[in-house]
Amino acid sequence: MNRMVRKAYYFFLKIKNRVLGRPAGSDIRGTFRRSTNGGYNLFAKGSSLINCDIGFGTYLGRRSSFSDSKIGKFCSISWDVVLVKGSHPTTFVSTHPFFYSRDCGGSKISFSSKNKYEEHKKTKDGFSCVIGNDVWIGCHVLILEGHHIGDGAVVAAGSVVTKDIPPYEIWGGNPARFIKKRFDSTQVGKLEECKWWDWPVSKIKANSDHFTSISDFCGFLENDDEALK
């Protein structure tokens, strides 16, 4: 019976995706507005993606939310991972928006005729947050605006990200700090060069056995004429 229900659900999804013009395998159970996705994504119940660009295979757990962000392929984003948007000036006499924001987010009152403080920080490419490919973010993580999390990075459960995180590093805590590197710099160089996440899915699938050992994977790259091109 379970199998029948699952089959019916996936059939319904397929039709829904086709009608909405979404890529195959899109299972969108949360809010998904003005956003694009690469396919085979699961966005769990209560999640929210607004004005985001999400790569192939990336999934979001329950109540995780991002906006104005770019998230790469093959990312595993757990539950309650939230991009924290907006900031107040801590060096002004008052931190209240009446003193620096002209419209105060739609409020009927303001003491300022112009905006005197930049409430939103952006990455250098203009996003609220950029997450690379194959990034794992543990549960209950807050990411402050304007940061970049590199390819292959890991963010520990319960962290508060206040800085950019370089590729293939594990960071954690509040504020999140460097914990350790996942691989040595030669290995990271090879991963960044081959960009396996951009390979055809058929190639990734055919060689998936190499993905459980970095030395095996690097050995495979050496013998693969196409991999480092």
Nearest to ligand COA by Cβ — which residue?
138
- CA separation, residue 148 to residues 32, 125, 162, 217 (Å): 22, 10, 10, 26
Nearer Cβ to ligand COA (8/157): 157
Peptide bond into 175 cis (omega under 30): yes
Please enumerate in sequence order all residues whose Cβ is within 8 A of that of 65, keeping only pairs 6 or more positions apart, or say none: 47, 48, 49, 81, 82, 83
Interacting residue with ligand COA among 179, 187, 199, 204 (CB under 6 A): 179
Q: Is 88 a catalytic residue?
A: yes
Cβ atoms 154, 173 nearer than 8 A: no
By CB under 6 A, residue 201 contacts ligand COA: no
* Percent of the chain that is helix, strand, coil (3-state, to 5): 25, 25, 50
Please enumerate in sequence order all residues whose Cβ is within 8 A of that of 33, keeping only pairs 6 or more positions apart, or say none: 49, 50, 51
Nearer Cβ to ligand COA (52/154): 154
Interacting residue with ligand COA among 13, 142, 170, 204 (CB under 6 A): 170
Mask for 8-27, x = binds ligand COA (CB under 6 A): --------------------
Nearer Cβ to ligand COA (188/221): 188
Which residues between 143 and 162 bind ligand COA (CB under 6 A)?
Answer: 154, 156-159
Alpha carbons 75 and 174: distance in angstroms, whole number: 22
**Could you tell me which stretch among 38-46, 97-105, 166-174, 192-200 binds ligand COA (CB under 6 A)?**
166-174
Which residues between 50 and 89 bind ligand COA (CB under 6 A)?
Answer: 78
CB atoms within 10 A of CB 228: 11
Cβ atoms 29, 47 nearer than 8 A: yes
Name which of 180, 175, 166 is nearest 144 in CA terms. 175
- Least Å distance, CB 23 to ligand COA, is 24
**Could you tell me which stretch among 31-39, 108-116, 171-179, 192-200 binds ligand COA (CB under 6 A)?**
171-179
Q: Which residues bind ligand COA (CB under 6 A)?
A: 78, 138-139, 154, 156-159, 170, 172-173, 179
Catalytic center residues: 88
